[in-house]
Amino acid sequence: MSATAENTFDIVILGGGSGGYACALRAAELGLSVALVEKGKLGGTCLHMGCIPTKALLHAAEVADTAREGQQFGVKTTFESVDMNGVNAYKDGVVARLYKGLQGLVKSKSIEYVEGEGRVVAKNVVEVAGRQLVGKNLVLATGSDAKSLPGLDITGRVMTSDQALFLDFVPSRVVVLGGGVIGVEFASVFKSFGSEVTIIEALPRLVAAEDEAISKQLERSFRKRKISFKTNVKFSGATQSGDVVSVAVESGETIEADLLLVAVGRGPVTAGLGYEEAGITLDRGYVLANERCQTNVEDIYAVGDIVPGLQLAHRGFAQGIFVAEHIAGLNPPVIDEMGIPRVTYCDPEIASIGYTEAQAKEKFGEIETYDYSLGGNGKSQILATQGFVRLVRQKDGPVVGVHMIGARMGEQVGEAQLIYNWEALPSDVAQLIHAHPTQNEALGEAHLALAGKPLHAHA
């Protein structure tokens, strides 16, 4: 098919996940003509296999814990069991409603939604089932998928998050391979659902990308919750016999489980899509892009998980919006990757932004760090949670890192990101009033203390 007017667009986007659809929506708002190509379901990993379904599981897990722990608050509750069919119906209902809403949103804009597997066949052409879509600009947004380790096949009771999201039973014993974000979130869910959980992590600590103090507190909390973990331990192999998986580690120890969850990271989906043939530079499968999301080939952009960096839905949204605005000539400000908020939704929750203490020392030299314990926070006592807010500031300068752990601390990241992104001084935040009693107040108290006027804290 030749390049007819109905097949020519300002932007052709390959992949309808967080990065791709955000770009399409913003571009359409700006009056650009857009084709959005998706081979699976609009919404991609985040909506169907990632953020949303996992957070629904985590909420069901919280409900199970609340039922178990009622007595602690003087409420007589008993925990009976987890009905996975019921949990899945609830989770799938949440996803279905959001999916319907998103489909309606895309339909309501003048976006050409093209179903099918696309491939870049020329510098400005994506082919889908014989149809050639010509774009003045191409946006690559094909996302990521779960990785495994050499020799470890994903089959039967050895699974990744893709399969673990649809379990129809609660496994008695689970081994989680990988103590990163996805690993600790699933470990938290399984424990709350009643499984015996062991995490195996090759690095020296859980959630190793976080500030070291956060890892220590999470490990303390997981010990208290009786979630076992082995750090600095390398996996050496797994065998399956019937419904039992034997997981071996390099020390020679073997752990038996009813399920092995492989959570060793996600890799870019870029192979065989014509990227290299179009002259686009890849590095270990990732598409290299500059701060304006431009690849080395003119008018080809890349957004989301295929670009090295944090694999987060809101980074994809932000990059997608950025590219649409850039193409429309709005000259948007570039995205500061350190200014992207990060939340790990296990129990207790972790939220952070900016530099860890170690990174800040390296980057800025002289820094100050302050830890505000949730022990002094009224709401934390009410919720019976433990944790802290850690602030990192440049000596006599702005706050360059906020690190929080404890119940509901994920919700506090909104203010933390304003503090970091607006380069606030502790004294700027200290003069703002934080409602009492809230978990948010801990953030205010930490700034009061760092500004030299602690309230419910020792200096």
Ligand X SMILES: Cc1cc2nc3c(=O)[nH]c(=O)nc-3n(C[C@H](O)[C@H](O)[C@H](O)COP(=O)(O)OP(=O)(O)OC[C@H]3O[C@@H](n4cnc5c(N)ncnc54)[C@H](O)[C@@H]3O)c2cc1C
Stretch of residues binding ligand X (CB under 6 A), selected from 1-9, 43-51, 396-404, 430-438: 43-51
Distance of CA 81 to the CA centre of its chain: 29
Q: How far is the CB of 344 from ligand X (least distance, A)?
A: 8
447 is catalytic: no
When asked if residue 270 is in the footprint of ligand X (CB under 6 A), the reply is no
Distance of CA 154 to the CA centre of its chain: 22
DSSP 8-state class, residue 333: P
* For ligand X, the closer CB: 105 or 425: 105
Stretch of residues binding ligand X (CB under 6 A), selected from 5-13, 47-55, 82-90, 390-398: 47-55
Q: Residues for the chain: how many in total?
A: 459
When asked if residue 44 is in the footprint of ligand X (CB under 6 A), the reply is yes
Q: How far is the CB of 116 from ligand X (least distance, A)?
A: 7
Residues 309-328 that bind ligand X (CB under 6 A): 311-314, 316
The set of residues, in sequence order, having a beta carbon less than 8 Å from that of 224 and lying 6+ positions away, is none
Task: Compute the Cα dihedral for 254, 256, 257, 259 and give only its sign.
Answer: positive
Burial 63-82 (b: 16+ CB within 10 A, else e): ebbeeeeeeeeeeeeeeeeb
Q: 321 — phi, psi (to 5°)?
A: -65, -45
DSSP run (H or E) holding 161 = helix 161-164
Round to whole Å and give the CA distance between 167 and 347.
21
Residues 376-395 that bind ligand X (CB under 6 A): none
Transcribe 385-429 into DSSP letters.
---EEEEEEETTS-EEEEEEEETTGGGGHHHHHHHHHTT--HHHH
When asked if residue 147 is in the footprint of ligand X (CB under 6 A), the reply is no
Q: 148 — phi, psi (to 5°)?
A: -130, -170
When asked if residue 39 is in the footprint of ligand X (CB under 6 A), the reply is yes
* For ligand X, the closer CB: 82 or 182: 182
* For ligand X, the closer CB: 217 or 311: 311
Residues 219-258 that bind ligand X (CB under 6 A): none
Q: Which amino acid is at 170?
A: V
- Cis status of the peptide bond prior to 437, with omega within 30 of 0: yes
* For ligand X, the closer CB: 50 or 348: 50
Taking CB under 6 A as the criterion, the residue among 24, 32, 54, 179 binding ligand X is 54
Taking CB under 6 A as the criterion, the residue among 135, 143, 376, 401 binding ligand X is 143
Q: Determine which one of 326, 403, 436, 447 is catalytic.
A: 436
When asked if residue 302 is in the footprint of ligand X (CB under 6 A), the reply is no
Taking CB under 6 A as the criterion, the residue among 117, 196, 212, 368 binding ligand X is 117
The site for ligand X (CB under 6 A) is made up of 14-20, 37-40, 44-46, 49-51, 54, 117-118, 141-144, 161, 182, 269, 273, 304-305, 311-314, 316
Active-site positions?
436
